[in-house]
């Protein structure tokens, strides 16, 4: 048997960073089906956005200098020479002393350099009284002001939020090259585990609720989950089912069996799947210490602890990081921690990271985090919580009123 | 023509609160397909969770008082009388001076009241040396400690996160009563608007990118979107298509045409769909002023402004609130605002709420928000942003270093 030194949370993140890289498979997807996928190539603008100078208001296109000095008491006078219709070319060229009506979003006629809002002028049968002066460029979006032709709009590795999809669509691009959707396999093990649909339990049996929580988290992250079922504590069967599932997926999750108990085959099964094998066995974290992370021939394998709250917290921390790296996500700016003030003193062992479930409430423009006390086996502590406070390993606990990072779970 | 007084953001939220209520249709869904649905009835426990006293560690079930006084230098001695196997009844009744091996999650034998971890004892061929004392209840989760039989585990109106699904599954319940998935219709209007897939634009034309951004936001919120296409500025056609789409959905979104321009038929079309009709026409907000909210025979209708960034911000603020109410969501504790410190002074007109796109960065345990300057017509300002700072209407701007609420968009 091999012995592993327990890793800190920081070391674990560093090892994930070092060991996991993006999958190779990419595909072209229509924008309507690309939400939350990751770009596998940069997106470059092949035209200006907008393609023409546009008005941002309903008003009259003018030469700005023709309005200088206009005021309520001393209006300026311009001649209305036409109207721009939405979706059509402006047509008319604007001369000195002239004005053309333009609706919001309409094209600015050549010769004009600004738009005066209808609120600031009056059209008296073709004679426009202007009550305000406008500056050159006022109420106009210039061609290319949003995106310039040739500009890299999105680098490779960008997650496609609604606004990124909008930006791509504005360029006349209707398909995008993305990394394919991750497939993750989930296999439960343990003689005591029965399908969660089991209505009546025999004594000592436990429903496989971790499958539901972990698979639901993965779905939230746009990952497909294949359920491998439940294996008994039998090495042969465990190895075979794990191998079978491993072959179909980009990442394998094994649940239960990661305690150093008599029937712990997880490490051996992981070892059998490929090299280099286990790189983290045990993390200095509470809850979730008996966590295993491995790489088997380029595919990550995650051995989760069995306690429901431990499994969720470990998967939210390290599982998400692994899956984001595997997906090809490079732009990692998501504010996935908020800062809140803790309502109580909480001691913590230095060298160990603690994750405390909390209720959040707002008071005078700040978030406060109120700890929920409960063992890591209790799923209801997570149901009652709005977030998880992180006490990093270098801290010897936190004091009432301290600012602490919180992972929001709502 | 009817005139409306522009509403503040706070008044608008209050009117949404007052006017919108949950849809009526509910359904039974299997837990695996219920993520992010809303409970339409409370969920009550019909059994204890866990169903039996369980060990939270690998160790030996004992009577706590038999370990009192044990230490490394002065071990206690107990007789090992058996082993509990995972998934099986404990069998043995534990007598004084006795110990039974129990793996993590295993059932505690009757007669014992605590578990001593294997790290703190040694089994010498049936004679157990204990090096530490344990307290009654230590390393045990009691039957019903997580959930008690008869307890209301989830009230009606709860959004089903992964942990809620886990909690329901732990009760032996495999289906849940939820409000049905919302169906929203989206109809674009404007002579200048063409499908976003259009490769080459004619002069003055604009691609319908708001459909993509708004539909993607709705999908993120577990809402189905039906696209009604694009109508020209023609009342007859607009009314007919809006009516047709309205009949199929729970909520109708109309995009474009909400400026007070010459071709603005949106208000009339909304009026034709049912009573009481428009309750907000214009909001004192920047960007997004020309927003229309209405109720037509119990279904909300949202008229969005045409500028891409305005449309997204309005939909993230008011659209989300409307859809959450309509979905039946009652537990509204999501920390959807984070607090950050602003890097610059920003003036704002009192009485108007401003929403400023920002980049977020972490510095010394706090979030800082750095404003992105750009017109509301520019989709790229949202691409570059990590969040949106809210300057509420009672403020006359914010000063460098102030704490401000931020809506995260990553």
**Residue range A52-69, pLDDT digits in tens:** 999 988 899 999 999 999
Region A36-49+147-179: CATH code: 3.90.105.10
How does pLDDT run across B168-182, given as a tens digit for each residue?
Answer: 999 999 999 999 999
Q: What is the mean pLDDT of residues A45-58?
A: 91
Residue A2: band (very low, low, confident or very high) from pLDDT cuts 50, 70, 90: low
Peptide bond into A276 cis (omega under 30): yes
Q: Give the residues across from B292 on adjacent strands.
A: B281, B303
Do A295 and A19 contact (CB within 8 A), yes or no?
A: yes
Residue of chain A whose Cα is closest to the Cα of B216: A162
DSSP secondary structure code for residue B181 in this structure: P
**Chain A from 109 to 138: CB within 8 A of any B CB:** none
pLDDT in tens, B136-174: 999 999 999 999 999 999 999 999 999 999 999 999 999
For residue A27, the cross-strand partners are: A178
Scan for tokens 């999908």, then name that residue: B219
Helix extents (H) in B160-295: 162-169, 209-220, 235-248, 266-273
CATH 2.40.340.10 residue spans of chain B? 337-408
d(CA B35, CA B37) in angstroms, rounded, equals 6
Q: Is the pLDDT of residue A256 over 80?
A: no
Please tell me if residue B84 touches chain A, with a CB cutoff of 8 Å. yes
| Cα distance between residue A92 and residue B91, in whole Å | 95
Average pLDDT rounded to a whole number, residues B23-30: 97
Q: Where in chain A is the domain with CATH 2.170.190.11?
A: 54-141
Closest C-alpha among B215, B184, B245, B211 to residue B23: B184
Contact present, B31 and A219 (Cβ < 8 Å)? no
For chain B, the average pLDDT equals 92
User: Is residue A249 less than 8 Å (CB to CB) from chain B?
Assistant: no
Quick check: A46 and A40 in contact, CB under 8 A? no
CA torsion, ordered B11, B12, B18, B22, to nearest 10 deg: -160
B187-191: average pLDDT: 91
A333 CB neighbours in chain B (<8 A) are: 360, 386, 410
Q: Three-class SS string for chain A?
A: CCCCCCECHHHHHHHHHHHCCCCCCEEEEEHHHCCCCEECCCEECCCCECCCCEECCCEEEECHHHHCCCCCCCCEEEEEEEECCCCCCCCCCCCCCEEEEECCCCECCCCCCEEEEHHHEEEECCEEEECCCCCCCCCEECCCCCECCCCEEECCCCECCHHHHHHHHCCCCCEEEEECCCEEEEEEECCCEECCCCCCCCCCCEECHHHHHHHHHHHHCCCEEEEEEEECCCHHHHHHHHHHHHCCCCEEEEECCCCCCCCCCHHHHHHHHCCEEEEEECECEECCCCCEEEEECCEEEEEECCCHHHHHHHHHHHHHHHHHHHHCCCCCCCCCEEEEEECCCECCCCCCEEEEEEEEEEECCEEEEEECCCCCCCCHHHHCCCEEEEECCCCCCECCCCEEEEEECC
pLDDT recorded at residue B259: 47
Pick the range with the lowest mean pLDDT from A11-25, A225-239, B319-333: B319-333
Which among B310, B232, B261 is positioned nearest to A84, based on CA atoms?
Answer: B261
Tens of pLDDT, residues A72-104 = 999 999 999 999 988 888 888 999 999 999 988
Domain A337-408 classified CATH 2.130.10.30? no
Does residue B339 belong to the interface with chain A, where contact is any CB pair within 8 Å?
Answer: yes
**CA-based nearest residue in chain A for residue B331:** A410
B363 has pLDDT over 50: yes
Inter-chain residue contact B192 with A106, CB threshold 8 Å: yes
State which fold the B26-49+148-179 domain adopts: Molybdopterin biosynthesis moea protein, domain 2 (3.90.105)
Question: What pLDDT, on the 0 to 100 scale, is given for residue A366?
Answer: 85
- Contacts B166 to A, Cβ<8 Å: 209-210, 212-213, 308, 312, 379, 382
Residue at token pair 């701007």 = B397
Helix (H) / strand (E) containing B19: helix B9-19
Mean pLDDT of chain A: 91
User: Which homologous superfamily does the CATH classification assign to the domain defined by A54-141?
Assistant: Molybdopterin biosynthesis moea protein, domain 3. (2.170.190.11)
Q: Which residues pair with A404 in a beta bridge?
A: A340
The superfamily in CATH containing domain B9-24+181-327 is MoaB/Mog-like domain (3.40.980.10)
* Residues of chain B contacting A197 with CB distance shorter than 8 Å: 174
Residues of chain A contacting residue B174, judged by C-beta atoms under 8 Å apart:
196-197
Please tell me if residue A41 touches chain B, with a CB cutoff of 8 Å: no
User: Each residue of A267-280: pLDDT tens digit?
Assistant: 899 999 999 999 99
CA geometry: angle B67, B71, B77, nearest 5 deg: 45
Mutate to test the interface with A, among B163, B266, B288 (most CBs of A within 10 A): B163
Residues of chain A in contact with residue B362, where contact means CB-CB under 8 angstroms, are 337
Task: Report helix, strand or coil for B381.
Answer: helix
- Rounded CA separation B7/B351 (Å): 10
In the predicted structure, residue B336 carries a pLDDT above the cut 90? no
Contact B204 A386 (CB under 8 A): no
Q: How big is the A-B interface in CB pairs under 8 Å?
A: 307
pLDDT of residue A3: 58
Least confident of A135-149, A257-271, B42-56: A257-271
pLDDT tens-digit map of B265-318: 888 999 999 999 999 999 999 888 889 999 999 999 999 988 888 999 999 999
Chain B residue numbers touching A49 (CB-CB < 8 A): 379
Work out the angle at residue B369's Cα, subtended by the Cα atoms of residues A160 and B11, and round it to the nearest 5 degrees. 85
Instruction: Judge whether B354 and B348 are in contact, CB under 8 Å.
Output: yes
A378 pLDDT band, cuts 50/70/90, is confident
- How confident is the model over A128-154, as a mean pLDDT? 95
Mean pLDDT of A225-237: 93
Q: Is the pLDDT of residue B261 over 60?
A: no
Name the CA radius of gyration of chain B, rounded. Answer: 30
Strands B337-342 and B54-55: unpaired
> If residue B153 lies in a helix (H) or strand (E), which one and from where to where?
strand B152-154
A220 touches chain B (CB under 8 A): yes
Residues of chain B with CATH 3.40.980.10: 9-24+181-327
d(CA B188, CA B102): 65
**Quick check: A189 and A256 in contact, CB under 8 A?**
yes
Name residues whose C-beta falls within 8 Å of residue B180's C-beta, 6 or more positions apart in sequence. B23, B25, B26, B27
**Contact assignment for A88 to B58 by CB distance below 8 Å:** no
Q: Is the confidence at residue B260, as pLDDT, over 90?
A: no
Scanning B369-408 for CB atoms below 8 A from A yields: 375-380, 382-383, 385-387, 403, 405-406, 408
**Which pLDDT score, from 0 to 100, does residue A233 have?**
84
Which residue carries 């229309």 as its tokens? B292
Residues of A in contact with B52 (CB under 8 A): 203-204
Q: Is B51 on the interface with A (CB under 8 A)?
A: yes
pLDDT of B262 reads 39
Q: Per the structure block, which two tokens stand in for A306? A: 């069995």
Residue ranges of chain A that CATH labels 3.90.105.10: 36-49+147-179
CB contact under 8 A, A335 and B387: yes
Mean pLDDT of A200-222: 94
Among residues A55, A27, A327, A42, the alpha carbon closest in space to that of A168 is found at A42
Nearest CB to B260; choose among A58, A166, A233: A58
Residue-level pLDDT at B335: 65
Q: How far is A108 from A142, CA to CA, in rounded Å?
A: 9
- Does the pLDDT at position A25 exceed 90? yes
| Other CB atoms within 10 A of residue B167 CB | 29
B14 pLDDT higher than 50: yes
pLDDT of residue A258 exceeding 50, the answer is no
Backbone angles phi, psi at A237, to 5 degrees: -65, -45
């Amino acid at each position: 048997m091999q012995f592993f030194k327990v890793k800190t949370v920081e070391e674990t993140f560093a090892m994930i960073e070092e060991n996991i890289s993006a999958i190779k498979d990419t595909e072209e997807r229509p924008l309507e089906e690309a939400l939350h996928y990751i770009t596998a190539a940069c997106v470059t603008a092949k035209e200006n956005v907008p393609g023409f100078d546009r008005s941002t208001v309903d008003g009259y296109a003018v030469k700005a200098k023709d309005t200088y000095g206009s005021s309520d008491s001393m209006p300026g006078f311009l001649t209305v020479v036409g109207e721009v219709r939405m979706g059509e070319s402006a047509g008319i060229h604007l001369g000195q002393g002239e004005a053309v009506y333009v609706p919001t979003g309409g094209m600015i006629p050549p010769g004009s350099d600004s738009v005066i809002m209808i609120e600031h002028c009056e059209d008296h049968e073709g004679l426009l009284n202007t009550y305000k002066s406008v500056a050159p460029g006022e109420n106009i979006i210039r061609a290319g002001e949003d995106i310039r032709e040739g500009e890299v709009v999105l680098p490779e590795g960008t997650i496609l939020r609604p606004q990124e999809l909008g930006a791509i669509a504005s360029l006349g691009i209707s398909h995008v090259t993305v990394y394919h959707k991750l497939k993750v396999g989930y296999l439960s093990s343990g003689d005591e585990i029965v399908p969660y649909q089991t209505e009546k339990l025999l004594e000592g049996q436990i429903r496989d609720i971790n499958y539901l929580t972990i698979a639901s988290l993965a779905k939230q992250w746009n990952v497909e989950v294949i359920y491998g079922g439940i294996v008994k504590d039998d090495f042969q069967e465990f190895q075979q089912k794990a191998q079978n599932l491993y072959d179909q997926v980009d990442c394998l999750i094994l649940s239960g069996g990661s305690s150093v108990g008599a029937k712990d085959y997880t490490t051996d099964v992981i070892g059998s799947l490929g090299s280099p094998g286990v790189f983290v066995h045990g993390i200095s974290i509470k809850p979730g210490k008996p966590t295993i992370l491995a790489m088997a021939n380029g595919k990550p394998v995650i051995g989760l602890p069995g306690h429901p709250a431990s499994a969720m917290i470990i998967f939210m921390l390290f599982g998400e990081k692994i899956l984001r790296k595997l997906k090809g996500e490079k732009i990692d700016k998501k504010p996935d921690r908020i800062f809140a003030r803790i309502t109580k003193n909480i001691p913590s062992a230095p060298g160990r990271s603690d994750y405390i479930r909390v209720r959040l409430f707002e008071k005078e423009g700040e978030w406060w985090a109120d700890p929920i006390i409960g063992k890591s086996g209790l799923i209801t502590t997570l149901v009652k919580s709005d977030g998880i406070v992180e006490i990093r390993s270098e801290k010897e606990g936190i004091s009432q009123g301290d600012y602490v990072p919180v992972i929001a779970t709502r």
